[in-house]
Amino acid sequence: MMAKPVDEAEITLRVARREDVRRIASLILMGSATQSLTAEEVAAEAALPDYERAFDEVAASPESTLFVAERGGEVVGTYQVTLIPGIAARGRKRAKFESVHVAPECRGMGIGAIMIRHALAFAKAEGAELVELSSNKCRSDAHRFYRNLGFDQSHEGFKIVI
């Protein structure tokens, strides 16, 4: 069954606050393609102080902005925009979108598209000329979502945990 599209006026996009940290961590954990956690495990993990420390570091960075999407006063989505200066393409500034997640019960309602449109406008206003993001290879629904918004799967990504 297809979710009913949300009216964009129902969604408030704002910079995340420290009191949002547990909910943001929960959204990220619920959206993870690499693990399946129970609600109790998500709540316990999201309560760890590591997330508040990470939030403080992101909030202190002039290059990174963490946003949330609210519906009816409840945080239902999150995304981070990081601006990256570079030498390539005559010094073109890039934006990296990170940790884009919508609450499972709100997926398919258009909230993710609202968040991405906002993130694109924010990045452009901050001088970015290119946006990049990565998504786990097994998240085919997310890949379709990004392609439908005009993103091109132009590169193969790599990472290493150090």
| Structural domain total, the chain | 1
Whether 38 is in a domain gets the answer yes
Per the listing, tokens 């005009």 go with 150
What's the CATH number where 33 sits? 3.40.630.30
Residue 1 lies in a domain: no
b vs e for 55-92, b when ≥16 Cβ sit within 10 Å of the residue's Cβ? beebeeeeebbbbbbbbeeebbbbbbbbbeeeeeeeee
pLDDT at 35: 66
119 within a domain of the structure (yes/no) = yes
Per-residue CA distances from 2 to 6, 35, 151 (Å): 12, 25, 23
The residue among 100, 141, 109 whose CA lies nearest residue 10 is 109
- Give residue 120's domain range: 8-148
* Per-residue confidence in pLDDT tens, the chain, 162 aa: 567 889 999 999 999 999 999 999 999 998 765 567 888 888 888 888 999 999 999 999 999 999 999 999 999 999 999 999 999 999 999 999 999 999 999 999 999 999 999 999 999 999 999 999 998 888 888 899 999 999 999 888 888 999
CA distance 8 to 94: 27
Residue 118 forms part of a structural domain? yes
Amino acid 139: pLDDT: 84
| Residue 102 within a domain | yes
Q: Is residue 156 part of a domain?
A: no
- Give dist(CA 157, CA 162) in Å, integer: 16
19 sits in which H/E element:
none
pLDDT for residue 34:
59
What gap in Å lies between CA 40 and CA 37, rounded to an integer?
8
